[in-house]
A = this chain, B = another copy of it.
Amino acid sequence: MAPKPDRSAERRTQILDAAENVFAQMGFNQATMDDIVVESGLSKGALYWYYKSKDALILALLDRIFAGGLAHFEGLVDVDGSASERLDVIIQGTVQEMIRIKHLMPLIYEFVALAARRKSVRETLGGYYRHYHDIISRIIEQGIDSGEFVDIDPDEAALAFLGLGEGLAMLYFVDPQWMELENIGATLKKYIVSGFETSEG
């Protein structure tokens, strides 16, 4: 009689996993709810019990992928250590994450495309980038304050950092020939971070 308390969370995970796979492979529009039903191993009724529309499912997936995905970098902001090293940790972490979710890249660009017409998508994506930018910006600021970095506009610098990272990821997505995903980190360091550093290093 006693319902297992987290059966619900389990089901939701199960469904989002299935949706993630199906959407990544087929795209939001090509994929049908039935595809997700089959992939999840649940019934159609169950699917709709947990997510009341295809749209809700997409949005939930958006959240799972982008919401709060940067909590682990937050801890790098107000700690000791050179700004350079901390940016490095972020770069490495981001690259590792990119590698881990490489198969979800199609999903990411589906979300970007969706952003044009869906405010909620725009806001979630925007929030994510803003959060990312904020972390970078504050670290850069700390680098400037400590004399480690030259006197630049931290926001603009963080934007360049973020922009190059995202741009390279997109180019990789369109054509993996450009580079190894791993090299994105090196390029970021060479073309952006190194420009921050004062000559004495």
Residues of A within 8 A of B (CB): 26-30, 105-106, 109-110, 112-117, 122, 125-126, 129-130, 156-157, 159-160, 162-171, 173-175, 177-179, 187, 190-192, 195
CA distance A115 to B170 in the complex (A): 11
Which residues does chain B contribute within 8 Å of A157, judged by CB atoms?
A: 191
Query: When the two chains form their complex, are residues A170 and B170 in contact, meaning their CB atoms are under 8 A apart?
Result: yes
> How many protomers of this protein does the assembly include?
4
Query: When the two chains form their complex, are residues B187 and A191 in contact, meaning their CB atoms are under 8 A apart?
Result: no
Which residues does chain B contribute within 8 Å of A113, judged by CB atoms?
A: 27, 106, 109-110, 112-113
Query: When the two chains form their complex, are residues A116 and B27 in contact, meaning their CB atoms are under 8 A apart?
Result: yes
Of the listed residues A130, A163, A170, the one surrounded by the most CB atoms of chain B closer than 10 A to its CB is A163
Quote the shortest CB–CB distance from A125 to chain B (angstroms).
5
Which residues does chain B contribute within 8 Å of A190, judged by CB atoms?
A: 156, 160
Query: When the two chains form their complex, are residues A109 and B106 in contact, meaning their CB atoms are under 8 A apart?
Result: no
Known contacts A26-B117, A129-B175, A191-B191; can you find 11 more A-B pairs with CB under 8 A?
Answer: A27-B113, A27-B114, A29-B29, A112-B173, A113-B113, A159-B179, A162-B167, A163-B168, A165-B167, A167-B167, A195-B195
Of the listed residues A171, A177, A187, the one surrounded by the most CB atoms of chain B closer than 10 A to its CB is A171
In the complex, the chain B residue whose C-beta lies closest to that of A156 is B187
Query: When the two chains form their complex, are residues B187 and A159 in contact, meaning their CB atoms are under 8 A apart?
Result: yes
CA distance A117 to B173 in the complex (A): 11
User: What are 6 inter-chain pairs, A to B, with CB distance below 8 A?
Assistant: A125-B174, A126-B175, A129-B174, A156-B187, A159-B178, A160-B191
CA distance A120 to B145 in the complex (A): 50
Please tell me which one of the listed residues B117, B165, B187 contacts residue A30 in the complex, with CB atoms under 8 A apart.
B117
CA distance A148 to B168 in the complex (A): 26
Quote the shortest CB–CB distance from A152 to chain B (angstroms).
9
Please tell me which one of the listed residues B30, B115, B164 contacts residue A164 in the complex, with CB atoms under 8 A apart.
B164
